[in-house]
Amino acid sequence: MFGGFTEGMVDAGDLSVFARHAGNGPAVLLLHGHPRTSSTWHRVAPLMVEQGLSVVCADLPGYGRSDKPEPTADHAPHSKRAGARSLVHAMEELGHETFAVVGHDRGSYYALRMALDHPERVTRAALLDCVPISEHLDRADARFATAWWHWFFFAQPEVPERVINADPDAWYDGDPEAMDAENFAEWRAAIHDPAVVRAMVEDYRAGLGIDADHERADRAAGRRLQQPLLVLWSTRDDLEDLYGDPLLIWQNWADDIRGGGIDSGHHMAEQAPKELAAALTSFLADAPR
CA distance linking residue 32 with residue 39, whole number of Å: 8
What are the C-alpha distances in Å from 134 to residues 108, 131, 209, 217, 280? 13, 8, 10, 10, 26
What pLDDT is recorded for position 17? Answer: 98
pLDDT range class, residue 130, cuts 50, 70, 90? very high
* pLDDT tens string 160-188: 999 999 999 999 989 999 999 999 999 99
* pLDDT tens string 193-205: 999 999 999 999 9
> How many helical (H) and strand (E) elements, i.e. helices and strands, does the chain have?
16, 8
* pLDDT tens string 10-32: 999 999 999 999 999 999 999 99
Provide the residue range defining the domain that includes 88. 6-284
104 φ/ψ angles, rounded to the nearest 5 degrees: -115, 140
Is the pLDDT at 286 greater than 90? The verdict is no
Q: Is 266 a catalytic residue?
A: yes
How many C-beta neighbours within 10 Å does residue 69 have?
Answer: 22
CA distance linking residue 30 with residue 45, whole number of Å: 8
Is the pLDDT at 288 greater than 70? The verdict is no
Q: What is the DSSP letter of 263?
A: S
- The mean per-residue pLDDT over the stretch 125-153 comes to 97
Whether 262 and 233 have beta carbons less than 8 Å apart is answered as: yes
Kindly state whether residue 89 falls inside one of the protein's structural domains.
Answer: yes
Q: Report the DSSP beta bridge partners of residue 125.
A: 101, 229
Is the pLDDT at 102 greater than 50? The verdict is yes
Q: How confident is the prediction for the chain on average, in pLDDT?
A: 97
Kindly state whether residue 163 falls inside one of the protein's structural domains.
Answer: yes
Transcribe 185-218 into DSSP letters: HHHHHHHT-HHHHHHHHHHHHHIIIIIHHHHHHH
Kindly state whether residue 1 falls inside one of the protein's structural domains.
Answer: no
Residues 6+ away with beta carbon under 8 Å from 106? 32, 33, 34, 60, 203
* pLDDT tens string 59-90: 999 999 999 999 999 999 999 999 999 999 99
Q: What CATH number does the domain containing 171 carry? A: 3.40.50.1820
Is the pLDDT at 261 greater than 80? The verdict is yes
Q: Is 105 a catalytic residue?
A: yes
Task: Return the exposure string of 3-39: e unless at least 16 CB atoms fall within 10 Å of the residue's CB, then b.
Answer: eebebeebebeebbbbbbbbbeebbbbbbbbbbbbbb
Q: What is the DSSP letter of 167?
A: -
Question: In this structure, which amino acid lies at residue 157?
Answer: P
- Catalytic position from the list 59, 67, 105, 211: 105
Kindly state whether residue 280 falls inside one of the protein's structural domains.
Answer: yes
Q: C-alpha 28: how far from its chain's center?
A: 13
pLDDT range class, residue 223, cuts 50, 70, 90? very high
CA distance linking residue 22 with residue 249, whole number of Å: 34
Structural domains counted in the chain: 1
Kindly state whether residue 16 falls inside one of the protein's structural domains.
Answer: yes
* Cα dihedral value 125, 178, 154, 83, nearest 10: -30
Is the pLDDT at 159 greater than 60? The verdict is yes
Kindly state whether residue 83 falls inside one of the protein's structural domains.
Answer: yes
Kindly state whether residue 254 falls inside one of the protein's structural domains.
Answer: yes
- Catalytic position from the list 34, 118, 192, 266: 266
Kindly state whether residue 289 falls inside one of the protein's structural domains.
Answer: no
